[in-house]
Every structure is written in structure tokens, then in C-alpha cells.
Amino acid sequence: MNPGGNDSAAITRLLARIERNEAVCGVIGLGYVGLPLAVEMARAGFGVLGFDVSQGVVDGVNAGRSHIKDVGSEDVSRLVGEGRLEAVLDMARLAECDVISVCVPTPLSKTRDPDVSFVVSATEAVAARLHEGQLVILESTTYPGTTRELMLPMLEAGGLSVGRDFFLCFSPERVDPGNERWVIRNTPKVIGGITEDCRRAGVAVYGRVMETVVPVSSTEAAELTKLLENTFRAVNIALVNEMAQASDRLGVDVFEVIEAAATKPFGFMKFTPGPGIGGHCIPLDPHYLAWKMRTLNYRTRLIDLAGELNSEMPLFVVTKVQDALNGRRKAINGSRILILGVAYKRDIDDVRESPALDIIRLLEAKGADVAYHDPYVPEVREDGLVRRSVPALEAELATYDCILITTDHSNVDYGMLARLACPIVDTRNAMKDQPSANVIGLSGGSTPARARAAAALAGGP
């Protein structure tokens, strides 16, 4: 409570309901962000309504099935059975909620402008049922100012006043698919409110769900926090991707250089290069900030350059494949090429913005016959085309002219790959412990193991 005793009736009732675990929490969007949050809220003892536009998602959750790899179906089934988690299509039931977390997609348009149409639709649904005492929290990554400039006017249009009648916050999602150590509960949760009471309400509810809550002074500070986190990663990935291309021209193995640099106990943070960047965050988030700053007549030059460098990596990888085939006196046109891994990173099933898909399109444009194998992704649907994962049996693999490792899944038999005669272009350093002269790294030069294998095949020491 405020020391001065000036709390509104709405904040007093809301904080009391949260404290007694009587608050009903609504989560709009049951995807990679929303479903884990809904499950964690239910585990904390709140009753949770999960809202989604997909009948299949709603039916699956209510049947106790999880469609998200990081959320176990046994947890969903138990919480549904206990009556603490329910999925619904009917947005009218938002009126039952004390807390509403908005976890909807925020993609970019083809011109890299923010597409906030899902946020607008969700806010319209909330505004139509908004009543005194509700707390609304936006979790979708977006440009600074979205919560205050876009959502707030829509929510206040009905006559209720923010900070007195209802409460509005921004709290950036920090979901890392496939990360078993840092999950929703133990990842510190940043939150900022439109007013002090908004922030108090947000801290109160998330403080019962997460181990650590980090309050900041405004929604803009919270929005910018998320963009800084992922811009930092995008820029550093661009740096090592450029280092990979420089190392290639110098005939040096960039992964060996990075491992050596990482032995420095201060002043260096390890990032690794790859075939490009994927997922819903790193390829997109910096562009929200770049777009916002363009509206303020400021150009984010480092962000723009990092985006260019990262987007060039698929073409660089295709050149590596072409060179590998040329070394065997084969043209890329007509060659059978197998892509190992289409998920955007190791041991997950997420193909959003995956560079592997760009590489497939580039190879096919050059006339290659391309297939893929991914133990986590049985099929990929895009542009009306369905691609299906092929078997990774040794006899099957031996029929390809080149194998390209774009995702280093841990359940792939890399020892089997080392026995193949075809060139293997390894963009993830997955074959670092497999002595084979047929492996071509992301940059020039050989790892010691590859160098020894090459020497042995040539009859050297």
C-alpha cells in the first residue's frame, strides 16, 4: 500500500486478490510465450484462462496436450485436471480476468516495418470488456512507445482512467526455446508500468509467479530493455559472422580462434558464427528500434550493418557448398544436396526465420536437388509447398553429392557422417571431433583433427 494511504479502491482490491491467489489470470495467445506463462501462472496457484484463435490449440490444451516442446503435456494435463488451466476461444471471457497478459506475435512487414495488428486486435478485445480493477500486461516484443502510445488510448477510450481504475504494464518475454536451465520461473522478469500503481500491480502478480522481478521506471524502459538484449546479440553474432568470412580468406579456422579467445577471463564474451540467424527475436527485434528511431530522424547505423552482415550468411554458405562441389568436379546444378537441420537452433522444432530455409531456396535457384533431414521437424510448410524430412540412414546419406550441416542437433550420428565419401559443409562446427578430410568448415583452414586426418589420407605423419 502507499505510505500516504491514497490508494484507489481498484488497486487495493486487485492487490488483495493477488495476495490471496484469488486473481484470475488471462493469457492472450498460447504460443511459445503464452503457453509457458499460462502454465507457470497456474502452477503458482492462480486460475488461468488461455485465449487463442486456433480451435486446435484450444482443444489440445483442454485435452491435456502441449503443442510447445518446452512445456510437458503431463503438466498441462495435471493443471487442466485440477481446474486451474482452461483454454478458450471466446474473448468475452476476458471480463472474468483480473490480470490479462498479451502474448501475441509482432512480425515485421516485408519493408521491415513493425506489424502490430495482432496487438491492436488483442487490445480491442480487452477494451471491449475492460472493467475497474483489471491489470493488462503486454509481453509481445515491440518498439518503445507501443504500450503508452498505442494501447493506452484504446483502453482509456471507454472512460476508465489508467492508474486509478485499471492498470497497464509492459513486461518483455524472455523465452529461450530449448533452454533447460533458464525457464520462465527462474529468468528475471523486467516490468514497467504507465504509473507507479500500474507497476506495483505488475510486480505483485509476477512476483508470485517468477523468482525475481526487476521493476523499471516506465513502459518505455521495459520495451527498450528487450530490444537492447537482442540487439546486443545480433550485433555480436554479426561480428563473428564477419570474422568467419575474414578467417576464410586468411585460411584460418574461426572456431579455433573463438575458442582460444574465450580463454581470456575478462573482456570477452563468446559468440559463435553460423549459416545466419533465426527465431522470432534476434532477426526481428533490432528492426523495431531502427524503425522507431527513423521516425525520430535518427539512423541506427550499427543495427543496420549488423542486419546486412547476418542476412548475407546464407549466400556465403551456398558459395561454400558450390566450392565443395567444384573440388569434386561437380556443378551445383543437378547435384543432390542434403540439409541437416532446418530448425533455427539446436534441439528444438522451431523453424521461424530459419536460415536453412533461405539456403534451400538459394540452392534450388541454382538447380540443386535439395532434401532435408531434421529429427525435430518432420515437415515444413511454406508458400503452399510441403517439404518432409528424409531418413538419415547411412545408405541413404551415401547417395548425396554434398551434405550441409545447418543445425547441430545433438541426436545426430556425426560419426556416421565422417565415414561418408561426399563433402560435408559444416557451418556449426558439429564435426570438430570427427577426423575426416571431407569436412569443410565455415571458414578456411582445418581443425587439428581434420588436419591429422588429411595428412593420414595423404600418407603423411
List the catalytic residues: 281
Report the phi/psi class of residue 126: left, alpha or beta, with left for phi > 0 and alpha for psi in -120 to 50: alpha
Distance of CA 182 to the CA centre of its chain: 14
Determine the Cα–Cα distance for residues 40 and 71; give it in Å rounded to an integer: 10
The closest alpha carbon to 184, from 396, 41, 389, belongs to 41
C-alpha grid cell for residue 396? 541413404
User: Strands 385-388 and 379-382: what pairing?
Assistant: antiparallel
Determine the Cα–Cα distance for residues 372 and 357; give it in Å rounded to an integer: 10
The closest alpha carbon to 84, from 41, 116, 136, belongs to 41
Handedness of CA 75, 81, 83, 88 (dihedral sign): positive
User: Strands 379-382 and 369-373: what pairing?
Assistant: unpaired
Residue 22 DSSP SS3? coil
Running DSSP on this structure, what letter comes out for residue 1? -
How many Cα atoms within 13 Å fall on the side-chain side of residue 243?
Answer: 18
Bridge partner list, 403: 338, 424
Determine the Cα–Cα distance for residues 435 and 347; give it in Å rounded to an integer: 24
For 220-274, the three-class secondary structure string (H helix, E strand, C coil) is HHHHHHHHHHHHHHHHHHHHHHHHHHHHHHHCCCHHHHHHHHCCCCCCCCCCCCC
The closest alpha carbon to 223, from 309, 152, 120, 145, belongs to 145
